[in-house]
Amino acid sequence: MLLNEIVEYNKEFVDEFEGSKLSHIPQKKLAIVACMDTRLTDGFLEKAMGISRGDAKIIKNAGNNVLDRDVIRSIAAAIFALGSKEVILVGHYDCGMSNVDGEKLKSIMLERGIYPEEIAKIDIEDWIGSIDSEESNVINGVNKIKSSPLIPDDVPVHGLIMDPITGKVDILVNGY
């Protein structure tokens, strides 16, 4: 069982790790919104950007989507409660949320026992956060954050796009 494997591994990890006393305040005063993509895990996104443990608040979800009010909540918490002064939204090429097939998703959900009337209540592609283009998703996301009445105007919001193979980032929006 995967969970047992994880808990077993954790015992060894804790035995070997000497612990660290990092603050919960991000040292680079930075909040990052990124995709949950599996290739950006194990610190890949952070290493590619020179972000160390303790440097930034990192908010991840499917498709670095900022439509969810929880992303704005987390950015606001990073700014007002935790001292972040800049926000970077990082998208990536070859995103799994690109052009999601709504009909296919619907049939998988039905097969898995989700009630049709529940599926009928949502616009499936919109709800799951299907994106047409990774670049425009970043630009739209940056605009959503900037136009939120709960995010102060003096916080620069930048938009980057990452190549998940090489880690290279390109600036799509320079928030300065």
Which residue ranges are tagged as binding site?
Answer: 35, 92, 95
Q: For Zn ion, what does the binding mask look like between residues 89 and 108, x meaning CB under 5 A?
A: ------x-------------
66 beta partners: none
Closest separation in Å from C-beta 164 to Zn ion? 8
**Quick one: which segment of 31-39, 45-53, 116-124, 141-149 binds Zn ion (CB under 5 A)?**
31-39
Torsional sign, CA 41, 47, 53, 59: negative
37 in contact with Zn ion (CB under 5 A): yes
Instruction: Report DSSP letters for 93-120, one per residue.
Output: SS-TTBT--HHHHHHHHHHTT--HHHHH
Around Cβ 35, how many Cβ atoms within 10 Å?
25
Closer residue to Zn ion, CB minimum distance, 95 or 161: 95
Closer residue to Zn ion, CB minimum distance, 8 or 94: 94
Q: H or E stretch including 58?
A: strand 56-61
Maximum C-alpha span of the chain:
52
145 in contact with Zn ion (CB under 5 A): no
Closest separation in Å from C-beta 94 to Zn ion? 8
Burial of 174 (0-12, 13-18, 19+ CB in 10 A): exposed
46 in contact with Zn ion (CB under 5 A): no
Closest separation in Å from C-beta 58 to Zn ion? 14
Residue pair 139/128 in contact by the 8 Å Cβ criterion: no
35 in contact with Zn ion (CB under 5 A): yes
Residue numbers in the known binding site for Zn(2+) are 35, 92, 95
Residues of this chain that interact with Zn ion (CB under 5 A) are 35, 37, 95
